[in-house]
């Protein structure tokens, strides 16, 4: 069994209601979540996740100039377009055999650090946290809010809020203090981004071979002064989030089961070390392990591999419930990798995308998202890895590998320590993210502000190194290259919400095949041909319901918290809800209940 074990059910005669949320709000893209909820036992018994958007990047990229790939693939996503451009440039640099100058790598790293800070902040504080804000808790768990009003916030000396309910109030949409401040901070961090990459969302200054950003001291000073202005907000965000999440565990015993999955995490690594990376496939293990976020596959708490070659070769794109035709009968594009290892027909290098629009059928095909899986060589299982919304897998993988040690960050084997300098009101602070007991909704959300701190700490290092180069007169940011007649390349990176890979095949100097795999297809994937549910489905299926409302006025907040904890973003692949407990089809279905109760 590759998924989370079933939880014991059937204590009371089931009372099953179909409930769906489509579209899901406060995410990017088209996502629908369709569930069957047993109100008698207060748990979700079944979940289907569906994406209702197809645009066809891997179709219309064919035959184009490969150098255009970064500009085009940026448009896959309106929130992490730069992650795509960066990843595409990594893949192209492998194919062209070009290594950008060191300063260019620092500039890209600084852009990506600003992107993580921006995106995680706006997502956590303006989208996710609305599910934990006073207005929402009042509508779903009034008893909990009463308790929050009586509970002092343990870290009030850092963030300044006296009670847990005060924090929740500060997150009320458009009116709460933190909600509004987060919008502002998300603008400052985007300005930092624009200093390095020109434009947000779709960057203008990134090229294969380097960047066009003018590496004048001013851009670094402008970045640094903005970073230092938000550094205390980052420290406060960690403290506020910890207070609220700890309160949930304490006030609602069993909340750790909400969104809990078997630990199946993937991280493809971020922040290249300019002194090690050469983009050669043959050396990918070496420079992959030197990344400042360590790649890795984590299964049941154990690090299976942090070798990008293993990670690459284990990728499998499965069908089963997706609106596509299979391609296994086609000629493969790549039979062996540059090290001579065989490449599977279901690997992205060999994939062909043939869309077949059709009726949505939850017993058959029901999503435009395919099902990426990772073949665990030890067991032969096709694992439905998730990304923990990004930060959870990144911190987990980095902590276990214990390879990152910088002036501001240390991976210890069981934790990641992050030091941030003195800010306007708060002193120098060391935060420690420890590997949690569970891969669940709360830990996915908790990891996010810690990773904002991580990105800020990395930015400080990249700034120092970049300024060192500029002061020494080493201001080269672009290296020229030739597009070869035939080549293959792969890029591994972390989009904000998790693993991102681009696979490229060039023939006659044109794109013969191009398949980007962003995080959301991993997280939002439907059941594959083995019947294995995707991570959203698996995490929601079987989760308990703590909301106090009954079926008639049910909001589904616990389910929404789970789905949003993964940071859904489905331009790269998705729709949930029925307000006021509107029942779509079945109430108290005895037949259904007999099978599933």
Partner 1 sequence: MTTHSGTTEVSGEPSRGEDRQGFDEIHILWISEGMSCDGDTVSLTAADQPSIEDLVLGLIPGLPKVNLVNKVLSPSLGGEDFLAPYRAAARGDLAPFILVIEGSVPNQNVIEGDGYWTSFGNDPETGEPQTLNHWIDELAPKAWAVVAAGTCATFGGIHAMAGNPTGCMGLADYLGWDFRSQGGLPVVNVPGCPIQPENFMETLIWVLYHAAGSAPPPPLDHMLRPQWLFGKTVHEGCDRGSYYEQASFAGDYNSPKCLVKTGCWGPVVNCNVPKRGWMAGIGGCPNVGGICIGCTMPGFPDAFMPFMDEPPGGTLSSIAIKPYGAVIRRLRGFTNELVNHEPRWRHNKRKLTSGYDPHWRP
What residues between 319 and 338 interact with partner 1 by CB under 8 A? 323
Stretch of residues binding partner 1 (CB under 8 A), selected from 20-28, 419-427, 459-467, 488-496? 20-28
Looking only at residues 437 through 476 of this chain, which bind partner 1 when binding is defined by CB under 8 A? 475-476
Q: Which residues are within 8 A (CB) of 184 and not within 5 positions of it... i.e. 6 or more apart?
A: none
Distance CA 279, CA 287 (A): 8
Q: How far is the CB of 360 from partner 1 (least distance, A)?
A: 6
The pair of three-digit structure tokens given for residue 154, joined into one six-digit string: 């343990």
Q: What is the dihedral of CA 6, 265, 448, 534, to 10 degrees?
A: -50
Q: How many CA atoms lie within 13 A of 167 on its CB side?
A: 32
The reply on whether position 357 binds partner 1 by CB under 8 A is yes
* CB 35 to partner 1: min, Å: 11
Pick from 294, 304, 264, 352: nearest CA to 492: 294
Interface with partner 1 (CB under 8 A), residue from 36, 200, 261, 394: 200
Contact predicate 46/596, CB 8 Å: yes
Q: Residue 268 corresponds to which tokens in the numbers above?
A: 């493809």
The mark string for 208-237 relative to partner 1 (x by CB under 8 A, - otherwise) is -xxxxxx-------x---------------
Among 311, 385, 560, 566, binds partner 1 (CB under 8 A): 560
Q: Please tell me whether residue 26 binds partner 1 under the rule CB under 8 A.
A: yes
Q: In the stretch 171-190, what mask flags binding to partner 1 with x, by CB under 8 A? A: --xxx----x--x--xx--x
Stretch that binds partner 1, among 141-149, 275-283, 292-300, 350-358 (CB under 8 A): 350-358
Give me the least distance between CB of 24 and partner 1, in Å please: 4
Q: Which of 3, 35, 49, 71 binds partner 1 (CB under 8 A)?
A: 71
Among 149, 177, 191, 246, binds partner 1 (CB under 8 A): 191
Q: Of 44, 45, 72, 393, which one interacts with partner 1 (CB under 8 A)?
A: 72
**Binders of partner 1 in range 480-499 (CB under 8 A):** 480
- 97 phi and psi, to 5 degrees? 65, 40
Q: Which of 230, 293, 477, 500 binds partner 1 (CB under 8 A)?
A: 477
Contact call for residue 24 and partner 1 (CB under 8 A): yes
Nearest alpha-carbon partner for 374 in 477, 428, 298: 298
| Strand order through the sheet with 429-434 | 409-411, 415-420, 429-434
Binding mask 76-105 for partner 1 (x = CB under 8 A): xxxx-x------------------------
Q: Report d(CA 201, CA 182) in Å as an integer.
A: 18
Shortest distance (Å) from residue 152 CB to partner 1 = 27
Among 9, 151, 204, 283, interactor with partner 1 by CB under 8 A: 204
CB 367 within 8 A of CB 29: no
Of 359, 363, 378, 508, which lies in the binding site for partner 1, with binding defined by CB under 8 A?
Answer: 359
579 binds partner 1 (CB under 8 A): yes
Cβ proximity to partner 1, 302 vs 508, nearer residue: 508
Single out the segment in contact with partner 1 by CB under 8 A; choices: 63-71, 298-306, 330-338, 435-443.
63-71
Q: Which of 14, 16, 28, 309 binds partner 1 (CB under 8 A)?
A: 28
| 411 interacts with partner 1 by CB under 8 A | no
Q: Give the span between the Cα atoms of 358 and 569, in whole angstroms.
A: 23
Closer by beta carbon to partner 1, 65 or else 326: 65
Which one, of 512, 532, 466, 1, lies nearest residue 274 by Cα? 466
| Farthest CA pair distance, the chain | 77
- Residue 356 contacts partner 1 per CB under 8 A: yes
Q: At its nearest, how many Å lie between partner 1 and the CB of residue 364?
A: 12
Answer yes or no whether residue 203 interacts with partner 1 by CB under 8 A. yes
Alpha carbons within 13 A on the beta-carbon side of 515: 19
Q: Is 53 in the site for partner 1 (CB under 8 A)?
A: yes
Number of residues that bind partner 1 (CB under 8 A): 92
* 436 makes contact with partner 1 (CB under 8 A): no
Number of C-alpha atoms within 13 angstroms, CB side, residue 537? 27
Q: Does 512 bind partner 1 (CB under 8 A)?
A: no
Query: Contact region for partner 1 (CB under 8 A) — 126-134, 301-309, 436-444, 459-467?
Result: 126-134
User: Tokens 């290594």 — which residue?
Assistant: 99
In the complex, the smallest distance separating the C-beta of residue 459 from partner 1, rounded to whole angstroms, is 17
Is residue 55 within 8 Å of residue 468, measured between CB atoms? no
Which residues lie closer than 8 Å to 495 by C-beta, 6 or more apart?
77, 80, 83, 84, 87, 390, 518, 519
Q: Which of 116, 207, 287, 536 binds partner 1 (CB under 8 A)?
A: 207
Shortest Å, Cβ 94 to partner 1 = 18
What torsion do the CA atoms of 157, 159, 163, 164 make, to the nearest 10 degrees?
A: -130
CA distance 280 to 582: 55
3-class DSSP state of 322: strand
| Interacting residue with partner 1 among 63, 217, 427, 590 (CB under 8 A) | 63
Query: Which residue shows structure tokens 């400052």?
Result: 188
Q: How far apart are the first and last CA of the chain?
A: 21
Our finding on whether 30 is near partner 1 (CB under 8 A) is yes
User: Could you tell me the smallest distance in angstroms from the CB atom of residue 126 to partner 1?
Assistant: 7
Residue 9, C-beta contacts closer than 8 angstroms, at least 6 positions apart: 38, 41, 43, 45, 542, 597
Q: What are phi and psi for residue 378, nearest 5 degrees? A: -75, -35
Which residue's CB is nearer to partner 1, number 63 or number 217? 63
Considering only residues 266 to 325 of the shown chain, the ones binding partner 1 according to CB under 8 A are 323
Q: How far is the CB of 76 from partner 1 (least distance, A)?
A: 6
């Amino acid at each position: 069994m590759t998924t989370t074990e079933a939880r014991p059910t059937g204590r009371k005669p089931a009372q099953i209601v179909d409930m769906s949320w489509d579209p899901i709000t406060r995410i990017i893209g088209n996502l629908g979540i369709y569930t069957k909820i047993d109100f008698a036992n207060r748990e979700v018994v079944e979940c289907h996740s569906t994406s209702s958007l197809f645009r066809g990047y891997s179709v219309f990229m064919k035959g184009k100039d490969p150098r255009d790939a970064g500009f085009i693939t940026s448009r896959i996503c309106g929130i992490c377009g730069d992650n795509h451009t960066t990843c595409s440039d990594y893949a192209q640099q492998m194919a062209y055999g070009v290594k950008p100058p060191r300063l260019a790598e620092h500039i890209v790293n600084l852009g990506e650090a600003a992107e993580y800070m921006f995106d995680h902040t706006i997502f956590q504080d303006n989208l996710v946290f609305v599910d934990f804000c006073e207005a929402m808790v009042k509508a779903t768990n009034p008893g909990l809010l009463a308790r929050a009003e009586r509970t002092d916030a343990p870290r009030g000396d850092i963030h300044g809020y006296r009670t847990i309910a005060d924090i929740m109030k500060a997150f009320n949409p458009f009116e709460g203090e933190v909600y509004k401040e987060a919008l502002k901070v998300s603008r400052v961090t985007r300005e930092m981004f624009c200093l390095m990459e020109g434009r947000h969302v779709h960057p203008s200054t990134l090229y294969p071979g380097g960047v066009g950003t003018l590496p004048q001291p001013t851009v670094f000073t402008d970045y640094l002064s903005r970073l230092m202005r938000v550094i205390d907000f980052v420290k406060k965000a960690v403290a506020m989030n910890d207070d609220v999440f700890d309160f949930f565990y304490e006030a609602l015993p069993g909340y750790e089961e909400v969104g809990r999955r078997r630990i199946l995490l993937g991280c493809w690594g971020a922040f290249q070390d300019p002194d090690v990376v050469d983009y050669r496939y043959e050396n990918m293990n070496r420079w992959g392990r030197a990344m400042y976020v360590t790649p890795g596959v984590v299964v049941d708490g154990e690090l299976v591999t942090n070798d990008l070659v293993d990670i690459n070769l284990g990728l499998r794109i499965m069908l089963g419930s997706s609106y596509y035709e299979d391609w296994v009968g086609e000629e493969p594009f790549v039979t062996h990798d540059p090290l001579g290892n065989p490449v599977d027909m279901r690997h992205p290098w060999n994939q062909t995308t043939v869309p077949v629009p059709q009726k949505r059928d939850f017993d058959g095909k029901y999503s435009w998202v395919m099902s990426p899986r990772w073949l665990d060589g030890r067991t032969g299982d096709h694992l439905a890895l998730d990304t923990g919304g990004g930060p959870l897998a990144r911190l987990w993988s980095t902590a276990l590998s214990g390879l990152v040690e910088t002036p501001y960050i240390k991976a210890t084997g069981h934790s990641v320590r992050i030091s941030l300098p003195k800010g306007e009101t708060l002193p120098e602070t060391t935060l420690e993210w420890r590997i949690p007991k569970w891969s669940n909704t709360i830990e996915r959300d908790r990891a996010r502000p810690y990773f904002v701190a991580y990105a800020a700490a990395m930015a400080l290092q990249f700034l120092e190194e970049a300024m060192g180069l500029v002061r020494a007169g080493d201001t080269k940011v672009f290296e020229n290259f030739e597009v070869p007649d035939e080549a293959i390349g792969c890029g591994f990176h972390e989009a904000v919400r998790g693993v991102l890979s681009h696979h490229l095949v060039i023939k006659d100097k044109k794109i013969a095949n191009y398949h980007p795999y962003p995080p959301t297809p991993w997280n939002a994937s439907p059941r594959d041909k083995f019947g294995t549910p995707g991570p959203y489905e698996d995490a929601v299926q079987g989760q308990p319901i703590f909301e106090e409302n009954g079926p008639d006025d049910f909001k589904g907040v616990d389910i929404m918290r789970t789905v949003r904890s993964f940071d859904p973003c489905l331009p790269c692949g998705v729709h949930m809800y029925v307000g006021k407990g509107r029942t779509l089809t079945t109430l108290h279905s005895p037949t259904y209940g007999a099978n599933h109760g």
